[in-house]
Amino acid sequence: MRLLSVIVTVTTLLIVQPSFAHGDGHGHQPTLSADGAISVAVKAAKKMSFKDMGLAIGKLDTSWGKINPENFKVVERNAMGYIIVATNDDTETLVFSVSKEGRLIDVVNRQTFEKSHGHSH
């Protein structure tokens, strides 16, 4: 009888253990909000005003270091993330692409974006 009890206990633990190992949220990335995407774009613009981050656009004008977050607007949300348009005081308009995980994908000027994207925002 004791052997049967041990076998049942071990079998139960072997069946239940994988369920605990793969609990809620396993493999799911959090989705970034629109405000979070704007925050990523603002931080990137300010950082790029004094440092080249390795993107094709290179280092931005110093005016981007003083940009107001109100100058950033989400214009599109898609399966990849967010498209954000920002205009600085010098009337230069840039388009920021931010993934839904919160990673900056690219920054381009508006004209380049419209040519590659297929429509304007």
pLDDT of residue 55: 87
Tell me if 42 is assigned to some domain.
yes
Tell me if 4 is assigned to some domain.
no
Number of domains forming the structure of the chain: 1
pLDDT of residue 65: 92
- Name the DSSP letter for residue 29: P
Calpha distance 13→87 (Å, rounded): 59
What one-character-per-residue DSSP string does 41-100 give?
HHHHHHHHTTS--SSTT-SPPGGGGG--GGGEEEEEE-SSEEEEEEE-TT--EEEEEEET
Tell me if 16 is assigned to some domain.
no
Tell me if 95 is assigned to some domain.
yes
Check: pTM over 0.85? Answer yes or no: no
Q: Which residues have C-beta within 8 Å of that of residue 92, sequence separation ≥ 6?
A: 61, 63, 109
Tell me if 58 is assigned to some domain.
yes
Structural domain boundaries, residue 78: 34-117
pLDDT of residue 118: 59
Tell me if 9 is assigned to some domain.
no
pLDDT of residue 99: 95
pLDDT along the chain (121 residues), means of 10: 63 58 54 93 94 90 92 93 89 91 90 60 54
pLDDT of residue 110: 72
Tell me if 66 is assigned to some domain.
yes
Instruction: Give the three-state DSSP class for 38.
Output: helix
Q: What is the pLDDT of residues 83-111, one digit of tens each?
A: 999 998 767 899 999 999 999 999 988 76
